[in-house]
Amino acid sequence: MTPEPTYELEISRIFDAPRELVYQAFVDPDQLAEWFGPVGWLVPRDTVEVDARPGGYQRFVMVNAQDPSQRSPVDATFTEVIPNELLVGEQSAEGIQGFEGIATMTLRLEFHDEPGGKTRLELRQGPFSREMEAGSREGWNSSFGKLDDVLAARA
Amino acid sequence: MMTEDRLSMVFAALADPTRRAIIARLAEGDATVTELAEPFSISLPAISRHLKVLERAGLISRSRSGQWRSSTLEAAPLKEATDWMERYRIFWDASFDRLNEHLRRVQQDRARQGQAQDTEKGARQ
């Protein structure tokens, strides 16, 4: 069975480290450069800039280790920051006529305590920031559940 | 395969809650502008503008039969968008494997430093 399609990515993962450490790994430039990106990609330390507060930024460049001409820059703006608990960032889809400022990819990272000094990281990424603020998430989920069925049937 | 720009247009179109509601409604079947406007407290011209954005992104097509113009959901661009999101899942899973290793090293270093400090304290006492 293939997973149901959704426009929002949700990943939950438990790390064997306390919440503060996991959070620091995202906002400390030295640490981010150590681990970010899949194997085969590097984040040069001198490309990393982080200002972890609302309105602040997270910028860095991922470089392919085999072919350094392959570069993937990330430039996100934090919209919500609660130290050791929550990071929400937005990245705009630039350069599209008529859509300036409309399209933003939102990345939401929640850090939760788990027994035994562990941390559960909840990641959510997608184009859906505004209805979450409006607090009508459940309604949308049911709408999109229906839509998922339709897509699965037509795909 | 959609070009990146086309995909950006799809996400731009999906970034608005009213347009997502319109898409969810069209998933149940074709509808006219009037039918689509029903659940919202916004004008017909405003709904028409949203439909134009969805049409440009290729998410819907519009046909005119008599005086009623009805909209139809186009599933293929949505499928491309969801496949694109799946690439991010693979990316994050691989990144988090590295984060896991990183956190292990950080904690080992801390434990070692802690032990060294304890030994120092012991020596002073």
pLDDT bracket for residue A127 (50, 70, 90): low
Whether A154 contacts chain B with CB within 8 A: yes
Under a CB-based contact definition with an 8 Å cutoff, are residues A128 and A140 in contact?
yes
Under a CB-based contact definition with an 8 Å cutoff, are residues A150 and A127 in contact?
no
Check pLDDT > 90 for residue A70: no
Whether A82 contacts chain B with CB within 8 A: no
Record: contact B75-A130, CB cut-off 8 A: no
Check pLDDT > 50 for residue A8: yes
Bin B15: left if φ > 0, else alpha if -120 < ψ < 50, else beta. Answer: alpha
Check pLDDT > 90 for residue A147: no
Weakest-pLDDT range from A33-37, A58-62, B67-71, B73-77:
B67-71
pLDDT of amino acid A126: 76
Under a CB-based contact definition with an 8 Å cutoff, are residues B110 and B116 in contact?
no
Average of per-residue pLDDT across B29-39: 91
| Cβ count within 10 A of residue B22 | 27
Tokens 């934090």: give the residue: A78
Tell me the domains of chain A and their CATH numbers. 9-128 (3.30.530.20)
Substitution target in A102, A132, A146 with the highest count of B β-carbons within 10 Å is A102
Average of per-residue pLDDT across A58-81: 91
pLDDT of amino acid A153: 54
List the single residue in B11, B23, B86 with the smallest CB-CB distance to A147: B23
Residues B75-90: pLDDT tens digits?
888 888 877 778 888 8
How long a stretch of residues is chain B? 125
pLDDT of amino acid A128: 55
Q: For residue A151, give how far its alpha carbon lies from the nearest alpha carbon of chain B (Å).
A: 6
Q: For residue B67, give how far its alpha carbon lies from the nearest alpha carbon of chain A (Å).
A: 28
pLDDT of amino acid B7: 77
B28 CB neighbours in chain A (<8 A) are 146
Tell me the domains of chain B and their CATH numbers. 4-77 (1.10.10.10)
Question: A111-146: b or e for each residue (b if 16 or more CB lie within 10 Å)?
Answer: beeeeeeebebebbbbbbbebbeeeeeeebeebbee
Q: Say what the pTM is.
A: 0.70
Average of per-residue pLDDT across A113-128: 89
Q: For residue B66, give how far its alpha carbon lies from the nearest alpha carbon of chain A (Å).
A: 28
Contacts across the A-B interface (CB distance below 8 Å): 131
* Nearest-Cα residue of chain B relative to residue A12: B93
pLDDT bracket for residue A3 (50, 70, 90): very low
Q: For residue A152, give how far its alpha carbon lies from the nearest alpha carbon of chain B (Å).
A: 9
pLDDT of amino acid B119: 75
Average of per-residue pLDDT across A22-40: 93
More confident residue, A100 or A48: A48
